[in-house]
Amino acid sequence: MGQAKKEILALNAFSLKNQAKLSDDVERLVLRRRHSFGATSVLFYEHPLHVVGAKGATLTTADGKTYLDLYNNVPSVGHCHPRVVEAVSRQMGLLNIHTRYLFDVGHDYAERLLAYFPAPLTNVAFTCTGSESNDLALRLVREATGGLGVVVTATAYHGNTTAVTEVSPSSYKTGAPPAYVRTVPPPHPGNYGADVAGGFAAAVGEAIAAMKAEGIPFAALLVDSIFSSDGVYADPPGFLAAAVDKARAAGGLFIADEVQPGFARTGTHMWGFARHGVVPDVVTMGKPMGNGFPMGGVVTRPDLLERFASAFGYFNTFGGNPVASAAGLAVLDVIAEEGLKENARKVGAHIVERLAYLRGSCPAIGEMRGSGLYLGIDIVSPQDGSPDPEGASRLINALREKQILIGAAGPLGHVLKVRPPLCLSIAQADIFADAMEAILKR
Amino acid sequence: MGQAKKEILALNAFSLKNQAKLSDDVERLVLRRRHSFGATSVLFYEHPLHVVGAKGATLTTADGKTYLDLYNNVPSVGHCHPRVVEAVSRQMGLLNIHTRYLFDVGHDYAERLLAYFPAPLTNVAFTCTGSESNDLALRLVREATGGLGVVVTATAYHGNTTAVTEVSPSSYKTGAPPAYVRTVPPPHPGNYGADVAGGFAAAVGEAIAAMKAEGIPFAALLVDSIFSSDGVYADPPGFLAAAVDKARAAGGLFIADEVQPGFARTGTHMWGFARHGVVPDVVTMGKPMGNGFPMGGVVTRPDLLERFASAFGYFNTFGGNPVASAAGLAVLDVIAEEGLKENARKVGAHIVERLAYLRGSCPAIGEMRGSGLYLGIDIVSPQDGSPDPEGASRLINALREKQILIGAAGPLGHVLKVRPPLCLSIAQADIFADAMEAILKR
């Protein structure tokens, strides 16, 4: 899997070998980048984009072209949304301080956010990123259970800290997570047969039993509730419940990573876990929470925070500051006032409908999965239906030539990942479907 | 030490027991806070502050009072500095995207920042917080050395992730860091005699030898280059060099945590490590980098990033985005154009001079340490000169009554910690010194 992941990056990323073909401005920036950023910074596309502006679901490049953005789920209510820009600008000029003083906007935001969660999830701890959120979640469940072991899916990604990388098998280029991290295949009939719920729960149970047999006490089941990096697995709604029960029966807790599915993206609920009718012990948030203002959060039960706080001092300098709170409030306002949950449902369904029709004449389009504006579209060999990562990469670069930005997911990188800003219109969805048709029928 | 730390928090923090004395608006916010934030959120002062605005080195509360801010080192170029507010507002409205596309401001900032570092520190990886920076630093040194062991000071604080908490003994309320983290007393004649450099280096060497004897391979020496949470240790300049040599001779690397001393605070150099004439292998940054915009960074040698990137995929969603870059550029501009390094030197020296004079008649003022606008002032028993944490806490609350905000540091909490925005004026420094005089002579 590490090897497969390395190939995805190689397929979909810029390589210095192509450099001669670049335009002057891009070549100059690529050279500067090589000097400053070194080895950790991956650049998208054979021909990287030099971006100068963004609005709604579009990006503009230095050569004056406009690209339709089906990739970016951070500016979730739309790039540079004026409400968020105004809220951040205004608050930046008034007060930006940490949470050891009292200020109104922080409490307004905490209460507005918590109102979206079921009991007993009544406390929030603010962080700055999804990685920090998942790191804190691991600390909470380990402190509460006395356990260390975590069960995750095989190609999971939960963030970039030391501890969170250990529960992110997709980040390993060599080696593998430690023994206290166990993986299960993602929830799909191909792995578990028709009873996905039962099969997935059984696999979780076996992973827990295996770690316990080796003397590793179990702490938690941790999943992205739409299984983004595994290739997007959303159906049938409810399938998660049996696995969560299994984890709890084994004395563990359940962490729902809502960094990707959260904030209305699934089109039916505010959170991915809600589609499955489960109530997590810990919920983690990040990416879209501030529409690009760096912020994250952990919502949990008061007893878990109390237990943790009795053992450790915890403070997050920037977490929950007035500007983050103002950004977060604006995001919640825009989601509600612009009906973005319903828009995600409607436009996502339209994309599925168009591509399902197209599949009749384009056998490269395989299974489609997902919910709302988080879709995974398998790109497969027209001959035998097998996964086709090279085809997916060609498609991604061909879509870029048609000024449409999109990415890939899954262990092989053959799953086209549709996760645009939630304001994507039907007309923009049609531009994407038309482009898919033009490319795949070529 | 865990116990001592617990007491600091108890001394200096709000407790629900005092609630009856609060004003209506503060009481209402405290109650809301209890419901939303739960156990992890510590609030300053017996009478918490309800803050509504901030400017320069002052905060304004809901009751219309203005407080002089000697505590906050995040809004380092001044609260709500118009240059930073303007830069963030403008860029937020134009483009805010991740670093897998090219955009000019990110490269402008990376180059401007790197110009402040000596060779061979030519690469930067952007993060969102000091915690993320130190977490990445640990990953870099462990990957490069194959070691695990880290030497830190006894009351060190480096951040809040799982891995960084392990190297932050001050965060433990119960228990202690794992065996692969070893502590040494902070660099002070009280611990090492007159030869602080030699004594500190010897202690580092012994800690490394002790971990190696237990089969733990050594990775790095990690210090905050002004030893903030230990109680502020800055002199004599150069004392760090021998300890760094010792770490390298043992096959390890040196991480300079510049989250607190960095960005001109010491008044003589841009970075705390530079005062000691050493060149770190990894430098970590956070707090003041964006004057409150959440951003951090790791500056290091290209070979360390390459080694790490060959083993792990690393990406930081918000790190180095255009808005963070714009904020960072504005901060560097303001530091240079307003002469904040020189101001920190001058105003810090003035505070030391005034308090040294005051000490003649106020024996509660003990040793003063630090550099520029990072000062540690021991508060001691006038009778026997022993550390007086209760006296420090009374002083902090008395200063709050005089509308001056300040905090404490050190294992016992008896070190008054002066670290205001770098724009603090001589007149404001005099307000502080006058208040100290009025309180201590009472």
Per-residue pLDDT of chain A (442 residues; tens, 9 = 90+): 344 444 444 445 677 665 557 899 999 999 999 999 999 878 998 889 999 999 999 999 999 999 999 999 999 999 999 999 999 999 999 999 999 999 999 999 999 999 999 999 999 999 999 999 999 999 999 999 999 999 999 999 999 999 999 999 999 999 999 999 999 999 999 999 999 999 999 999 999 999 999 999 999 999 999 999 999 999 999 999 999 999 999 999 999 999 999 999 999 999 999 999 999 999 999 999 999 999 999 999 999 999 999 999 999 999 999 999 999 999 999 999 999 999 999 999 999 999 999 999 999 999 999 999 999 999 999 999 999 999 999 999 999 999 999 999 999 999 999 999 999 999 999 999 999 999 999 8
Query: CB distance A40–B314 less than 8 Å?
Result: yes
In this complex, the residue of B75, B287, B316 whose CB is nearest that of residue A160 is B316
Q: Which of A96, A109, A419 to mutate to test the interface with B (most CBs of B within 10 A)?
A: A96
- Would you state the pLDDT for residue B9? 44
Which two tokens mark A10?
């190689």
* A40, A71 Cβ separation under 8 angstroms: no
- Would you state the pLDDT for residue B153? 98
Query: CB distance B132–A131 less than 8 Å?
Result: yes
What is the β-pairing status of strands A149-153 and A218-224? parallel
* Closest chain B C-alpha to A310 CA, distance in angstroms: 7
Q: Which residues pair with A368 in a beta bridge?
A: A377
Q: What's the rounded mean pLDDT across residues B212-223? A: 98
Q: Which of A92, A98, A126, A300 to mutate to test the interface with B (most CBs of B within 10 A)?
A: A92
Question: Nearest-CA neighbor of B46 among B304, B288, B393?
Answer: B393
Which two tokens mark A283?
């919920």
Note the helical H segments in B146-219: 162-166, 189-192, 196-213
- Would you state the pLDDT for residue A358? 97
Task: Find the residue in A nearest to B95 (Cα).
Answer: A53
Q: What is the CB neighbour count within 10 angstroms for residue A268?
A: 17
What is the β-pairing status of strands A181-184 and B58-61? unpaired
SS3 B81: coil
Cβ contacts from A onto B, under 8 A: 332
Q: Is the dihedral of CA A366, A369, A373, A378 positive or negative?
A: negative
Note the helical H segments in A122-168: 130-145, 162-166
What is the C-alpha separation between B132 and A317, in angstroms, rounded?
12
In this complex, the residue of B30, B85, B309 whose CB is nearest that of residue A40 is B309
pLDDT digits (tens, 9 = 90+) for A86-127: 999 999 999 999 999 999 999 999 999 999 999 999 999 999
Chain B, 373 to 432: residues with Cβ < 8 Å from chain A are none
Domains and CATH numbers, chain B: 50-77+339-440 (3.90.1150.10), 82-337 (3.40.640.10)
- Would you state the pLDDT for residue A42? 83
Please, what is the Cα angle at A413 between A188 and A220, to 5 degrees? 50
* Predicted complex ipTM: 0.96
- Would you state the pLDDT for residue A10? 43
**B4 and A CB contact within 8 Å:** no
- Would you state the pLDDT for residue B15? 72
pLDDT bucket at B442, cuts 50 / 70 / 90: confident
**B170 and A CB contact within 8 Å:** yes
- Would you state the pLDDT for residue B17? 65
CA-to-CA dists, residue A224 to A228, A236, A255, B403, angstroms: 7, 15, 9, 47
* Closest chain A C-alpha to B52 CA, distance in angstroms: 6
Angle between helices B104-114 and A24-37 (to 10 degrees): 40
Place of tokens 């969660």: A117
SS3 B257: strand
What is the C-alpha separation between A101 and B75, in angstroms, rounded?
15
SS3 A154: coil
pTM (2 decimals)? Answer: 0.97
Query: CB distance B42–A103 less than 8 Å?
Result: no
Q: Which amino acid is residue A115, in one-letter code? A: A
pLDDT digits (tens, 9 = 90+) for B103-157: 999 999 999 999 999 999 999 999 999 999 999 999 999 999 999 999 999 999 9
Task: Find the residue in A nearest to B58 (Cα).
Answer: A95
**B3 and A CB contact within 8 Å:** no
Query: CB distance B317–A40 less than 8 Å?
Result: no
Q: Which of B97, B133, B229 to mutate to test the interface with A (most CBs of A within 10 A)?
A: B97
pLDDT digits (tens, 9 = 90+) for B283-337: 999 999 999 999 999 999 999 999 999 999 999 999 999 999 999 999 999 999 9
CA-based radius of gyration for chain A: 21
pLDDT bucket at B18, cuts 50 / 70 / 90: low
**A174 and B CB contact within 8 Å:** yes
Chain A, 42 to 61: residues with Cβ < 8 Å from chain B are 42-44, 48-54, 59
**A96 and B CB contact within 8 Å:** yes
Query: CB distance A312–B110 less than 8 Å?
Result: no
Q: What's the rounded mean pLDDT across residues B388-392? A: 97
* A11, A413 Cβ separation under 8 angstroms: yes
* B286, B133 Cβ separation under 8 angstroms: yes
- Would you state the pLDDT for residue B12? 58
What is the C-alpha separation between B198 and B200, in angstroms, rounded?
6
CA-based radius of gyration for chain B: 21
Chain A, 307 to 366: residues with Cβ < 8 Å from chain B are 308-318, 321, 323-324
What phi and psi values does residue B441 have, to the nearest 5 degrees? -85, -5
Query: CB distance B318–A161 less than 8 Å?
Result: no
What is the length of chain B?
442
In this complex, the residue of A39, A97, A313 whose CB is nearest that of residue B5 is A313
Q: What percent of chain A has pLDDT over 90?
A: 93
pLDDT digits (tens, 9 = 90+) for A366-391: 999 999 999 999 999 999 999 999 99
pLDDT digits (tens, 9 = 90+) for B35-84: 999 998 789 988 899 999 999 999 999 999 999 999 999 999 999 999 99
**Phi-psi category of residue B78: left, alpha or beta, with phi > 0 → left and psi -120 to 50 → alpha:** left
CA-to-CA dists, residue B327 to A119, A287, B334, angstroms: 39, 20, 11
What is the C-alpha separation between B91 and A38, in angstroms, rounded?
25
**B41 and A CB contact within 8 Å:** yes
| Residues of chain A contacting B44 with CB distance shorter than 8 Å | 100-101
Check whether B89 has a pLDDT greater than 90.
yes
DSSP letters of A6-48?
A: HHHHHHHB--GGGGGGS-HHHHHHHHHHHHHHGGG---BSSS-
**Phi-psi category of residue B334: left, alpha or beta, with phi > 0 → left and psi -120 to 50 → alpha:** alpha
- Would you state the pLDDT for residue A12? 58
Question: Nearest-CA neighbor of A405 among A390, A389, A421?
Answer: A421
Check whether B11 has a pLDDT greater than 50.
no
Query: CB distance A312–B171 less than 8 Å?
Result: yes
Question: Nearest-CA neighbor of A138 among A110, A185, A180?
Answer: A180
SS3 B198: helix
Q: Which of B27, B318, B331 to mutate to test the interface with A (most CBs of A within 10 A)?
A: B318
What is the C-alpha separation between A271 and B245, in angstroms, rounded?
52
Q: What's the rounded mean pLDDT across residues B370-375? A: 98
What phi and psi values does residue A145 have, to the nearest 5 degrees? -95, -20
What phi and psi values does residue B172 have, to the nearest 5 degrees? -85, 120
Query: CB distance B311–A162 less than 8 Å?
Result: no
* Closest chain B C-alpha to A94 CA, distance in angstroms: 5
SS3 A397: helix
| Residues of chain A contacting B8 with CB distance shorter than 8 Å | none
Angle between helices A130-145 and B130-145 (to 10 degrees): 80
In the sheet with B253-257, reading across from the earlier edge strand, the strands are B123-127, B296-300, B282-285, B253-257, B218-224, B149-153, B181-184
Which two tokens mark B350?
């003035």
Query: CB distance A162–B97 less than 8 Å?
Result: no
Note the helical H segments in B169-239: 189-192, 196-213
Instruction: Name the average pLDDT for chain B.
Output: 95
Residue A228 is given by DSSP the state T
**Phi-psi category of residue B193: left, alpha or beta, with phi > 0 → left and psi -120 to 50 → alpha:** left
The Cβ-side half-sphere exposure at B237, using a 13 Å CA radius, reads 13
Please give the biggest Cα pair distance in chain A.
64
Check whether B253 has a pLDDT greater than 90.
yes
**B85 and A CB contact within 8 Å:** yes
What is the C-alpha separation between A61 and A59, in angstroms, rounded?
7
Query: CB distance B139–A162 less than 8 Å?
Result: yes
Check whether B4 has a pLDDT greater than 80.
no
Q: What is the signed CA dihedral for B350, B354, B356, B358, rounded to 10 degrees? A: -170
What phi and psi values does residue A147 have, to the nearest 5 degrees? -95, 170
